Amino acid sequence: NAGVTQTPKFRILKIGQSMTLQCTQDMNHNYMYWYRQDPGMGLKLIYYSVGAGITDKGEVPNGYNVSRSTTEDFPLRLELAAPSQTSVYFCASSRDSRWYFGPGTRLTVT
Amino acid sequence: AQTVTQSQPEMSVQEAETVTLSCTYDTSESDYYLFWYKQPPSRQMILVIRQEAYKQQNATENRFSVNFQKAAKSFSLKISDSQLGDAAMYFCAYRSRTDYGQNFVFGPGTRLSVLP
């Protein structure tokens, strides 16, 4: 199993640009999550999904969108990027209360 | 809403010694999970140990053990025989057992340095 994979690893965006962060897991987990980690802080939940076709907002959803068309994939879309979205983004999946995190995507918006 | 507090932004320990990282949390729920995650410079989040609140016995994983005090809402991590590879950020995290997805709360983290 590759576990949870994320692409890209790094990205620099200009203000107002859009992009999609990809996340894929091969463990057949129903639950998937997107978190952001700001410098010196813990993780904050952006969106989560309990299965294909079902998504819901977390603590900090503004400026983001997600979709879950398959069990494996859970992309995070940034529309009109802002400097406040500069962060490290982690995708995760879970089963039986065990979380598996991807390696993260470092995003800088300038 | 649940909160998780880690009052030690930074800690250091001598190689082969023992160190304890503190974590307190606030919740009105009785059934939940608590976790310690390690984040090395590679940024990968690695599960260190997990505790289920309904279990009185403290969880252990090799050199890692916890002191879970449910009434005091305290969940400290003890690392024995510290190794250079233990140097990382450590995050304490809380998850509701019944509210899927929404209530997974992380603390701000403690940066652990291991001195040779």
The per-residue pLDDT for B65 is 97
The per-residue pLDDT for B102 is 56
Q: Distance from A31 to chain B by nearest Cα, in Å?
A: 7
pLDDT digits (tens, 9 = 90+) for A9-45: 999 999 999 999 999 999 999 999 999 988 777 788 8
What residues of chain B have any CB closer than 8 angstroms to a CB in chain A?
4, 9, 33, 35, 37, 42-47, 50, 52, 91, 93, 95, 97, 100-102, 104-109
Instruction: Tell me if B35 and A31 make a contact (CB, 8 A cut-off).
Output: no
The per-residue pLDDT for A70 is 97
Per-residue HEC secondary structure of chain B comes to CCEEECCCCEEEEECCCCEEECCEEECCCCCEEEEEEEECCCCCCEEEEEEECCCCCCCEECCEEEEEECCCCEEEEEECCCCHHHCEEEEEEEEECCCCCCCEEECCCEEEEEEC
Instruction: Tell me if B102 and A58 make a contact (CB, 8 A cut-off).
Output: yes
Q: Is the pLDDT of residue B43 over 80?
A: no
> Contacts of residue A33 in chain B, CB cutoff 8 Å?
101, 104
Instruction: Tell me if A41 and B109 make a contact (CB, 8 A cut-off).
Output: yes
pLDDT digits (tens, 9 = 90+) for B6-34: 999 999 999 999 999 999 999 988 889 99
Tell me the average pLDDT across B87-104.
Answer: 79
The per-residue pLDDT for B78 is 98
- Least confident piece of the model among A85-99, B50-64, B90-104: B90-104
The per-residue pLDDT for A1 is 66
B52, B101, B106 member nearest A42 (Cβ): B106
> Contacts of residue B5 in chain A, CB cutoff 8 Å?
none
Tell me the average pLDDT across B23-50.
Answer: 89
Between the ranges A48-62, B9-23, B32-46, B100-114, where is the mean pLDDT highest? B9-23
The per-residue pLDDT for B100 is 57
The per-residue pLDDT for A3 is 87
Q: Distance from A33 to chain B by nearest Cα, in Å?
A: 8
> Contacts of residue A35 in chain B, CB cutoff 8 Å?
106
Neighbouring residues of A81: CB distance < 8 A, sequence distance ≥ 6: A13, A14, A15, A16, A17, A18, A19, A109
pLDDT digits (tens, 9 = 90+) for A58-80: 889 999 999 999 999 999 999 99
pLDDT range class, residue B101, cuts 50, 70, 90: low
Which residue in chain A is spatially nearest to B107 when comparing CA positions? Answer: A42
Q: Distance from A23 to chain B by nearest Cα, in Å?
A: 14
